[in-house]
Homo-oligomer: A and B are copies of this chain.
Amino acid sequence: MSPIAQITTKEVVAAAALFKLLGDPTRTSLLYALLEAGELYVSDLALVTGNSESTVSAALRLLRASGVVTGRRDGRKIWYRLSDDHVRELLNVTREHTAHNDSDAQEQS
């Protein structure tokens, strides 16, 4: 559909950085949990994803710094949510992909 435009080095680096951010099991699990639930706070995220609260907090720090998630303070709790529709789309497309390609790698002669 859309014409293929020449992509700049800067854009490539930015794209790689975004993918890299999503390419960690801890962060990925947090993002999918948020994609499902809409909004969760740290303790819940720790329980749901099976990580320590410190680990979750550190992961959220990175996601927050890149604007992928947003925190909303409610008393002592801080509710986090995905703050970017593009990321939602990436998560959905990838879920479809992994649903079809169950095995790690498919080989060909």
- Residues of A near any B CB (own CB < 8 A): 2, 4-7, 9, 11-25, 27-29, 32, 35-36, 65-67, 70, 84, 86-87, 89-102, 104-106, 108
CA separation between A38 and B68, bound complex, in Å?
30
Report the minimum CB–CB distance from A11 to chain B (whole Å): 5
Q: Are B104 and A96 in contact (CB under 8 A)?
A: no
Q: Are B16 and A104 in contact (CB under 8 A)?
A: no
Copies of this chain held together in the complex: 2
Q: Are A70 and B108 in contact (CB under 8 A)?
A: yes
Q: Give the residue name and chain of the B residue nearest to A4 (CB).
A: B36
Q: Are B94 and A90 in contact (CB under 8 A)?
A: yes
Selected from B5, B6, B15, B24, the residue in CB contact (under 8 A) with A16 is: B24
Return chain B residues, CB-CB under 8 Å to A23.
16-23
Report the minimum CB–CB distance from A46 to chain B (whole Å): 15
Return chain B residues, CB-CB under 8 Å to A67.
101, 105-106
